[in-house]
Amino acid sequence: MGHGPVLNEKGKLNIHTETWHLNVDCCPCDVHFNDFVDVMGIRNAAIFHFGTGAHHVVGIAAAEGGRNNSVLAITASIGEHDSYVRLIVEHPEIGRAYKVYFGDIYQLEGRLLPDLDLVTLFHLCEFRTKVQDSYGALTDLELAQVLTDKLIPGGRLLFYTGSFAFDAARSVIARLERKRPIVREPDFKTLRVYRKAGTAATAFP
């Protein structure tokens, strides 16, 4: 799946000028993630989600059906963030479990993150440009390391095999396997799944 125009002006934040609406035929990763949560019986989980879409299906599902999951998500699309504001104004019960902030994920600060049960990196390698070097942004590998470090032992890290940048992401994942204690598990639909080694109480049954 390709993504929309990026506002790539030197010295300015790397943002997106388009919003992404749900198109399961083109990009099913968020729907497949919700299926994964249900099949695995995941409840009471802390989830970090990279890329919300204007549909917000991951955050909405977290608040429904007794799942009691919580989602912290990031978007670099002003339109997607605006749609989140409208969503929680109209449905405040969703806002309790679903938080979205606007920014460049490559500026992620690990010290501000909670411990996590699940991390989605469906769009790894899709948005990193040389322009981000001007403000000291993380690399794709550094980003993956920050989020893996916040996963509790037994937590899962998920990637999207249908991403247009998955060939590049595969190389990052291979390096991540050498640098962090992650173990590959069976793929789920279009998702590549890794578990952080170790044992601890998690949201997984």
pLDDT at 18: 73
Q: How buried is 144 (Cβ within 10 angstroms: 0-12 exposed, 13-18 middle, 19+ buried)?
A: buried
pLDDT at 123: 96
> Helix 166-179 and helix 140-150: axis angle, to 10°?
50
- The proportion of the chain whose per-residue pLDDT surpasses 90, expressed as a percent, equals 79
Confidence of residue 131 (pLDDT cuts 50, 70, 90): confident
For 57: left if phi > 0, alpha if psi spans -120 to 50, otherwise beta; the answer is: alpha
Q: Does 198 or 81 have the greater pLDDT score?
A: 81
pLDDT at 8: 57
Q: Does 25 or 170 have the greater pLDDT score?
A: 170
Class in CATH terms, 6-196: alpha beta
Q: Does 22 or 124 have the greater pLDDT score?
A: 124
Tokens 């099949």 locate to: 39
Q: Which of 24-33, 78-87, 161-170 has the lowest mean pLDDT?
A: 24-33
Half-sphere exposure of 27 (CA within 13 A, CB side): 20
pTM attached to this predicted model: 0.91
Task: Give the pLDDT confidence of 49-58 residue by residue, as tens digits.
Answer: 999 999 999 9
- Residue 161: is its pLDDT beyond 90? yes
Task: Give the pLDDT confidence of 68-98 residue by residue, as tens digits.
Answer: 999 999 999 999 999 999 999 999 999 999 9
pLDDT at 1: 41
Residues 6 or more apart whose CB falls under 8 angstroms from that of 151 comprise: 115, 116, 117, 119, 157, 196
Residue boundaries of the structural domains of the chain:
6-196
